[in-house]
Structure 1
């Protein structure tokens, strides 16, 4: 099972998931509340994703060396509430972002908020941004949802990297993810090699791909593991099985954030 995707693969997948997100939104009630992001409507969700893509396009295209304010991003929001305008805006923003990333290549230095300040980081980040928010759209319109195994696995890998980075930056909740002698195991039942062991230490947590006994284990199809781990599906949904100390899993899910 591959771990981190190359930016080229991430770009192809991002383009495909982008089209699927548009398909979920087209014809839906854009004023419907998003259960997994209750402060948003479906329109808010679409504008968030589209704005994020245009923001990254501006960062990559201008080879920005510092954060880009929203007001500097061309057409950061769609012009009006017409669903057809929204769809065209989403499609155009996605195309611009893909084109900018492809032209720049994977190793171009640019500003990023994280550990990897390069275009490769943004290609990967936007792929997973779309994957997770497509899940939000799917649950809102009651549609089926599944992710290609390579992408679902890398979404888990990247989220672990983000939470680890948040912990190193002193994020208030992430720093609590410690306490030696405890561990969390994720085990995809439908994808060979898709397993993760998260171990808590005195000062921080570490993680690796491994099949080992743990304080608590979560088993289920890879897409469902990814959704639970990203708090897009409830632990009690019946889609995954929890073995061991459920309290540790809840402890992780409550604190694995990055504001």
Structure 2
């Protein structure tokens, strides 16, 4: 397993990618532009979603403890005028960041994921919000016609955070036991194992990756693998081996 990115680094990344998201909103031809990677959503819908998430998690970290019931959202909608929307987005991010700074990484809070590989702490919330800002910035750039490749550091942590938070569960896998390997050319490899005990993952050494015989495997850059996990690009845009249906089954199961 790789070491997690330090808490201050996560906060800096949230700040930077939230700013990049606002830049994409400012550059878009219209807030009504469709977001191809989020069918049925406009750029405004995407912005409202991201700001709502920042405010929601700020409330979670401030006001909950592990094991609490899921809190409700405040129901506030972002303004629809572009300059006001950009200010709202900035304020939403600052609410999240100031709350996380005040709480510190070890503060416990409610979270929707199973605390098997990703704990119910402010640090885990910060780590979860980085790919939210990162991937939604990609979405906003796509809506503007100028999507950018994800930086390697953020993409690698997005891959591992997704496997830890979203994919590590005790819900029984409904099919035959299987293994899915993800290979990022510049950053290493991971294996997801699914069976009656649920889903879990491990980092593979170079030797293990070379000798492994998984049910299926996918190969790409770290950016491509991360975008694939978030279903932003199709599997046939990457090199795949083995059971061609396993990745789709995993995505449908999740």
Bin for the TM-score computed over the shorter chain: 0.7 to 0.9
Q: CA deviation at 1:95?
A: 1.5
Q: Does the 8 Å contact 1:2/1:150 carry over to 2?
A: no
Q: What whole-Å deviation, never above 9, does each CA across 1:144-177 have from its counterpart, x for those lacking one?
A: 3222323212211222223345x42x4xxxx435
Structure 2, unaligned runs of 5 or more: none
SS class of match (2:147)? coil
Aligned mate of 2:181, from 177, 180, 185: 185
User: Tell me, what secondary structure is at the counterpart of 1:186?
Assistant: strand
Counterpart for residue 194 of structure 2: 200
Match of 1:12 in 2: 12
Specify every segment of 5 or more residues in structure 1 that has no aligned partner in the other structure, as ranges: none
**Distance change in 2, residues 1:249/1:62 (3 Å):** closer
In structure 2, the CA distance between the partners of 1:27 and 1:163, relative to structure 1 (3 Å rule), is closer
Return closer, same or farther for 1:68/1:85 CA change in 2, 3 Å cut-off. same
TM-score by length of 2: 0.86
Task: Give the ranges of 4+ consecutive aligned residues of structure 1 lying more than 4 Å apart after TM superposition.
Answer: 63-66
Equivalent of 2:132 in 124, 129, 133: 129
- Give the structure 1 partner of residue 44 of structure 2: 43
Deviation sequence 1:198-250 (CA, Å, 0-9, x none): 2233443332111123222111111011101111111123xx21122212222
- Following the alignment from structure 2 to structure 1, what is the Cα–Cα distance between the partners of residues 23 and 202? 36
**222-231 or 152-161, which moves further after superposition?**
152-161
Q: Deviations over 1:86-126 (max 9, x none)?
A: 00000111112111101110011222223222211211111
SS at structure 2 position matched to 1:242: strand
Q: How much does 1:178 deviate? A: 4.6
Structure-2 change in CA distance of 1:3 and 1:220 (3 Å): farther
Mapping of residues 133-152 of structure 1, within 5 Å: 133-152=136-155
Contact 1:178-1:205 within 8 A present in 2 as well: no
RMSD after superposition: 2.1
Residue 98 of structure 2 corresponds to residue 95 of structure 1: no
- The alignment of Structure 1 onto Structure 2 pairs a total of residues equal to 241
Q: Deviation of residue 66 (structure 1)? A: 4.5
Question: Secondary structure, in 3 states, of the residue corresponding to 2:52?
Answer: helix
TM-score by length of 1: 0.84
**Structure 2 vs 1, CA of residues 145 and 51 (structure 1 numbering), >3 Å: closer, same or farther?**
same
Change in Cα spacing, 1:117 to 1:20, as seen in structure 2 (3 Å) is: same
User: SS of 2:190's equivalent?
Assistant: strand
**C-alpha displacement at 1:3, in angstroms?**
4.5
- The within-5 A match list for 1:79-94 is 80-94=79-93
The residue that corresponds to 2:120 in the other structure is 117
Contact 1:34/1:140 (8 A) holds in 2: yes
